[in-house]
């Protein structure tokens, strides 16, 4: 019998578009870890500034909320980094569902990162002034100035650089996954079917004329079937109107009868 399983499809070579896209996802994951380290390094300074500014007010717990938000952002950044690494590895193996997940999550992350950069740029461009009318509450603009003075000088440029590189790398990675070479790599290959070979399942080649050799009978079993008897070809048909052939007489004429005693 022939092998019912179809032939294995050929392995496709991974195009450079998929490889570069995976490298960019690795880069974004590394940037998330760097951003996490930067945020944790200034967490104590930010907490101290908010404690001093809101001490004795109804918003004294804002320093604790700031710490909680920084920790939650750190955990979220770690999850994003781990997910990007997993997606990059699956994309390199040609898994189309992982490419779809990369587009969905990458698009959401791109909107969040781009929106954060836009809000940060708009906030820095707007003039600041007294915005609080409660005499017991500190001025938010003054708190922001105190926070900027307490933070190291490299904090804001580092955050801006990390955000810009992340947005550009993520946008390039998503575009590379949508190019035609990437589509061909992620497309499921057609299964190649090979016709069955006569006698290939038993490993015995057929004899001339398409017949197979017979095998000896097992001991105690019925005899093996031999080749079918060869039919004798019939003779020529008799000629119409011709008399049947006469049988020769027992004693042909001209010969004397045998003597009798």
pLDDT tens-digit readout, 98-126: 999 999 988 888 888 888 787 776 655 54
- Band (pLDDT 50/70/90 cuts) for residue 255 is low
Residue 24 pLDDT > 90, yes or no?
Answer: yes
Mean pLDDT calculated for residue range 168-176:
94
Residue 75 pLDDT > 90, yes or no?
Answer: no
- Give percent of the chain with pLDDT exceeding 90: 23
Q: What is the pLDDT of residue 99?
A: 93
Whose CA is closest to 107, among 119, 99, 96?
99
Q: What is the Cα–Cα distance from 32 to 74, expressed in whole angstroms?
A: 9
Mean pLDDT calculated for residue range 189-216:
55
Q: What is the pLDDT of residue 39?
A: 86
Mean pLDDT calculated for residue range 253-257:
56
Mean pLDDT calculated for residue range 43-63:
77
Query: 142-176 burial string, b = 16+ CB within 10 Å, else e?
Result: ebeebbeeeeeeebeeebeebbeebbebbbebbeb
Residue 129 pLDDT > 50, yes or no?
Answer: no
Q: What is the pLDDT of residue 213?
A: 54
């Amino acid at each position: 019998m022939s092998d019912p399983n179809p032939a294995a499809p050929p392995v496709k070579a991974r195009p450079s578009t998929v490889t570069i896209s995976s490298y960019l996802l690795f880069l974004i994951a590394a940037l998330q870890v760097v951003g996490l380290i930067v945020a944790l390094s200034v967490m104590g300074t930010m907490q101290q500034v908010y404690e001093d500014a809101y001490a004795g007010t109804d918003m004294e717990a804002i320093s604790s909320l700031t710490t909680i938000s920084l920790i939650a952002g750190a955990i979220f950044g770690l999850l994003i980094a781990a997910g990007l690494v997993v997606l990059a590895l699956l994309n390199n193996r040609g898994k189309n569902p992982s490419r779809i997940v990369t587009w969905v999550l990458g698009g959401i992350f791109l909107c969040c990162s781009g929106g954060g950069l836009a809000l940060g740029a708009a906030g820095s461009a707007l003039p600041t002034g007294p915005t609080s009318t409660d005499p017991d509450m500190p001025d938010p603009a003054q708190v922001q100035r105190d926070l900027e003075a307490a933070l190291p000088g490299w904090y804001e440029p580092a955050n801006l650089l990390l955000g810009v590189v992340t947005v550009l790398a993520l946008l390039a990675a998503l575009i590379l996954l949508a190019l035609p070479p990437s589509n061909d790599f992620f497309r499921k290959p057609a299964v190649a079917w090979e016709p069955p070979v006569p006698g290939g399942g038993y490993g015995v080649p057929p004899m001339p004329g398409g017949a197979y050799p017979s095998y000896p009978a097992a001991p105690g079993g019925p005899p093996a079937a031999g080749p079918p008897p060869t039919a004798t070809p019939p003779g020529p048909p008799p000629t119409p109107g011709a008399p049947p052939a006469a049988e020769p007489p027992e004693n042909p004429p001209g010969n004397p009868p045998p003597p009798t005693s």
